[in-house]
Structure 1
Amino acid sequence: MQSSRSEPAVKELCSKILTPTDVEVRFSFPTATMRQHFKLEGGTRLDFQVRDKYNKDWTFRLYTRNKDSHPKPVLTRGWIDFVKKMGLRVGDKVIFLVHGNPDQLGILVQRNIMLFGHEHWADL
């Protein structure tokens, strides 16, 4: 007998090709995504969790400057550890996902590889 329950919908929150700063210092988070999804409520930082495809939870700190009209959100705490453990490098792609529940975030990482003379994004 098959279950009538369906898998929760997964929606892409944002994606980004990694730059040298993203893999060496901090991840520059898209401002529009931060404003749409995260509520800092007057603060300048927010810790949140994401789950990778291996079901490992990672905690990142989203930080913004509050004295500037352009907040430049970045991921600080936890990000560089994630980069090192996942073996990320410049040119890789990071995709943040929202699962059925907006508080349930996922992260997917991909690398652009050549396969039979064509470029493909492969999950890491």
Structure 2
Amino acid sequence: MKELCSKILTATDVGVRFSFPTATMREHFKLLEGSQSLDFQVMDKYSKVWTFRLYTRKNDGHPKPVLTKGWLDFVKRMGLKVGDKVIFVLHGNHNDHLGILVKRNIKLLGSEHWADFFM
């Protein structure tokens, strides 16, 4: 498994749209010429497939990619909160499948730990 990117969720990420890392978008997602969006699928740890739309705003060479379609449904169904961490990964025999992991920061005996998230 190879990590593409990870992000600690903000209020905007859980309430409006997920601000996707620009460098990851440029390296792993190829938008068609003239297109501002791309639908893609990810699989969670329960083998459920989610479809997200990666949308870029045309803004002086700074695309500011965001996840729109499907993202808020994922947040709601997974019960995500501000401060949780989302990790996009490549997995499969040839790192050809996109996955999504969720971690929650918990305090245990005075230390913080990122624990696997269970619904």
Q: How does the TM-score come out when normalised to structure 2?
A: 0.92
Task: Give the equivalent residue in structure 1 for 2:40.
Answer: 48
Structure 1 outlier segments of 4+, above 4 Å: none
Task: Give the equivalent residue in structure 2 for 1:15.
Answer: 6
2:73 to 81, 92, 95: 81
> Is residue 13–residue 19 contact of structure 2 (8 Å, CA) maintained in 1?
yes
2:108 is the alignment partner of 1:115: yes
| 3-state SS in 2 of match to 1:46 | strand
| Distance in structure 2 (CA, Å) of the matches to 1:106 and 1:76 | 17
Task: Give the equivalent residue in structure 2 for 1:6.
Answer: none
Amino acid at match of 2:82: V
| Bigger radius of gyration among the two | 1
Amino acid at match of 2:116: D
Task: Give the equivalent residue in structure 2 for 1:68.
Answer: 60
| 3-state SS in 2 of match to 1:90 | coil
| Distance in structure 2 (CA, Å) of the matches to 1:74 and 1:98 | 19
> Is residue 3–residue 89 contact of structure 2 (8 Å, CA) maintained in 1?
yes
Structure 1 residue 68: Cα displacement: 3.0
Unaligned runs of 5+ in 1: 1-9
Question: What is the count of residue pairs matched by the alignment?
Answer: 115
| Distance in structure 2 (CA, Å) of the matches to 1:88 and 1:103 | 26
**Could you list the per-position Cα deviations for residues 46-95 of structure 1 after superposition, in whole angstroms to 9, with x for gaps in the alignment?**
00000000110000000001353110000000000000000001010000
| 3-state SS in 2 of match to 1:83 | helix
Structure 1 residue 123: Cα displacement: 1.0
Give the root-mean-square deviation of aligned CA atoms.
1.1
> Is residue 2–residue 95 contact of structure 2 (8 Å, CA) maintained in 1?
no
Q: 1:95 to 1:61 in 2, by over 3 A?
A: same
Q: 1:91 to 1:107 in 2, by over 3 A?
A: same
